[in-house]
């Protein structure tokens, strides 16, 4: 097993996939949270289902997102969504959601792919949960920004069918929970999160 891990380490290093560029230290949990949200291309959105056979049960769905442009992190997750999506149908009834992230998505974090053997439940592989309300983006200037951010990160979005009535939404964050090292999860004050440097600015 150790030989396999050693070989994987050599392959990963030689391929250039092991890098912790601008990754904030684990002790700065607010900055680490901002870093994770800014780097993420997608996350798991959790709602309370309103669908037949699932009414009242927790429901999870993967959604693409962006919190800004590559050189402009806002910390606010923006989404491009359709009312045909069952998660959005849930949100119409109850817009309280949690959005879950894992550094395992990035596939280039040494703590995740080498030290932890690729296990996303390792405390060294940051897990982040944002708790809040999913709301429509109303102001035109913010809608323009969300569109630019999302379409830059996800260039196929403009080709999605117009008949699906796509809309821009964002998460109004009320609380944050993170595990990025041993010792259990921690809550992050929302103000600290938005004041933190995500490592890209």
Residue 139's pLDDT is: 97
User: How many whole angstroms separate alpha carbon 100 and alpha carbon 147?
Assistant: 22
How far is residue 116's CA from residue 114's CA, in Å, rounded to a whole number? 5
Contact 104, 112 (CB under 8 A): yes
| Domain range for 71 | 2-195
Residue 12, in any domain of the structure: yes
pLDDT in the model for residue 167: 97
Q: What are the tens digits of pLDDT across the range 127-146?
A: 999 999 999 999 999 999 99
Q: What integer pLDDT is reported at residue 119 of this predicted model? A: 83
Cα gap 63→174, rounded to integer Å: 19
Place of tokens 């990035």: 106
Residue 201 counted as domain residue: no
Residue 104 lies in a domain: yes
* CA distances for 60 relative to 8, 32, 100, 112, angstroms: 32, 24, 10, 23
In this prediction the pTM is 0.86
CATH of the domain at 173: 2.30.110.10
On whether residue 200 sits in a domain, the answer given is: no
| pLDDT score, position 10 | 33
pLDDT at 199: 76
Counting as low any pLDDT under 50, the low residues of the chain are: 1-20, 200-201
Q: What angle do CA 66, 70, 72 make, to 5 degrees?
A: 85
Q: How far is CA 169 from the centre of its chain?
A: 14
What pLDDT sits at residue 118? Answer: 76
In a domain, 132, yes or no: yes
Backbone angles phi, psi at 4, to 5 degrees: -65, -45
Number of separate domains in the chain: 1
């Amino acid at each position: 097993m150790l030989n396999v891990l050693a070989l994987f380490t050599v392959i990963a290093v030689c391929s250039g996939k092991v890098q912790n560029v601008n990754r904030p230290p684990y002790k700065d949990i607010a900055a680490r949270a901002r870093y994770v949200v800014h780097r993420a291309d997608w996350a798991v959105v959790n709602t309370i289902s309103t669908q037949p056979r699932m009414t009242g049960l927790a429901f999870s769905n993967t959604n693409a997102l962006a919190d800004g442009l590559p050189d402009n992190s806002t910390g606010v997750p923006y989404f491009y969504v359709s009312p045909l999506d069952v998660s959005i149908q849930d949100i119409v009834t109850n817009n309280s959601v949690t959005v879950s992230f894992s550094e395992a998505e990035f596939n280039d974090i040494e703590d995740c792919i080498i030290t932890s053997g690729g296990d996303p439940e390792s405390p060294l592989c940051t897990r982040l949960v944002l708790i809040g309300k999913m709301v429509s983006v109303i102001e035109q200037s913010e809608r323009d920004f969300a569109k630019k951010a999302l379409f830059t990160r996800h260039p196929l979005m403009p080709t999605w069918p117009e008949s699906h009535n796509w809309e821009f939404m964002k998460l109004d964050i009320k609380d944050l929970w993170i595990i990025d090292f041993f010792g259990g999860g921690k809550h992050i004050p929302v103000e600290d999160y938005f004041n933190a440097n995500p490592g890209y600015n």
